[in-house]
Amino acid sequence: MSEAGLDAAARSLRAWLNGQRFTDIPRAEATEFFTTSIRGWAETLGYHCELEAPLPPHALRPDRRGYLDVRLRHRSGKGRGISMEIDRGDKQLSLDKLAQAAELGDLCLWLRWGRRPVRLSVPPTVRVIRAHVLRRSTPAGPDRYSLEPDSCG
């Protein structure tokens, strides 16, 4: 795997997300915001974006199946795919799917949003993009989330 390509993809997405913001929205809308934002980033770079993309079975691990939150393929048909998972918390299954996608040749990014630190061991074939989202509790409803510009590292 080309570390330079993986690092370049991570830097590019971080830069894109650092220009984004949302204010006081529920959790589901925050996840949807990140998905839509990733789609916009991908389209500006000439990628086709597939959501809930099936992860093909691996010859060495046929029992491991799943769906990737986002899978990108360049419209030219050239280059490597980019597989992504988007999570508010630590999810070992997400890292397992990304590790498998990396074994199949994709560049793999994990967009982890929230304030808590990542407590899982991240494989060297995966880059983490941290979106530091603020949470506000409300007495009469679900928590609300906000992302300020320049909050992704």
Handedness of CA 119, 121, 124, 126 (dihedral sign): negative
Task: For residue 3, report the phi and psi dihedrals to the nearest 5 degrees.
Answer: -65, -35
pTM of the model: 0.91
CB neighbour list of residue 81: distance below 8 Å, 6 or more residues apart: 71, 72, 73, 101, 105, 106, 107
**Other Cβ atoms closer than 10 A to 110:** 25
What is residue 112's three-state secondary structure?
strand
pLDDT means per 10 residues, the chain with 153 residues, are: 83 97 95 97 97 78 79 94 96 92 95 93 97 92 93 90
Beta bridge partners of 147: 22
pLDDT at position 106 is 95
What is residue 115's three-state secondary structure?
coil
pLDDT at position 75 is 95
Give start and end residues of each alpha helix (H) in 18-117. 27-44, 92-103
pLDDT at position 98 is 94
